Structure 1
Amino acid sequence: MAASWVLVWNNPKVHTPERRKTWLACGEHREYLEQFLGVRGFLKEVVAFTDWRP
């Protein structure tokens, strides 16, 4: 499946506050990855791939 979402995250124990990491996700896996990052407090935002500007 093609990526349609960008999950933007940061691990505050490892990264500086302004650092942003990204994971790409298809619609089928977006919710799982959002939950994975969310319960850890890492998720910053979710953006549609077509709207993503690094």
Structure 2
Amino acid sequence: MTEVTEAAVCSAKGCQEPATWELQWNNPKLHTPDRRKVWLACDRHRQSLADFLGARQFLKDVVPHRP
């Protein structure tokens, strides 16, 4: 039996590009300090998504996405 996996796509609204980055974040009002949520980003949306999370002081790290 063959396993079917969906390609990881960018989290930006309406974008269907393959993800190349992981933006790791947490909301300190909701999550413990060690918890990490992940938004995926393509090269084009990496900075705008990071800016959005950074403005809220949620962004913890940006690392390459490893499929």
Higher-Rg structure is 2
For these two proteins, the number of residue pairs brought into alignment is 51
TM-score by length of 1: 0.88
Q: Which has the higher helix share?
A: 1
Give runs of ≥4 in structure 1 deviating > 2 Å: none
User: Are 2:34 and 1:6 aligned?
Assistant: no
- Give the superposition deviation at 1:20: 0.6
**TM-score normalised by length of structure 2:** 0.72
Q: What RMSD, in angstroms, separates the aligned Cα atoms of the two structures?
A: 1.2
- Stretches of structure 2 that go unaligned for 5 or more consecutive residues are 1-16
Higher relative contact order, chain-length normalized (CA < 8 Å, sep 6+): 1
Structure 1 residue ranges without an equivalent (≥5): none
Percent identical? 59
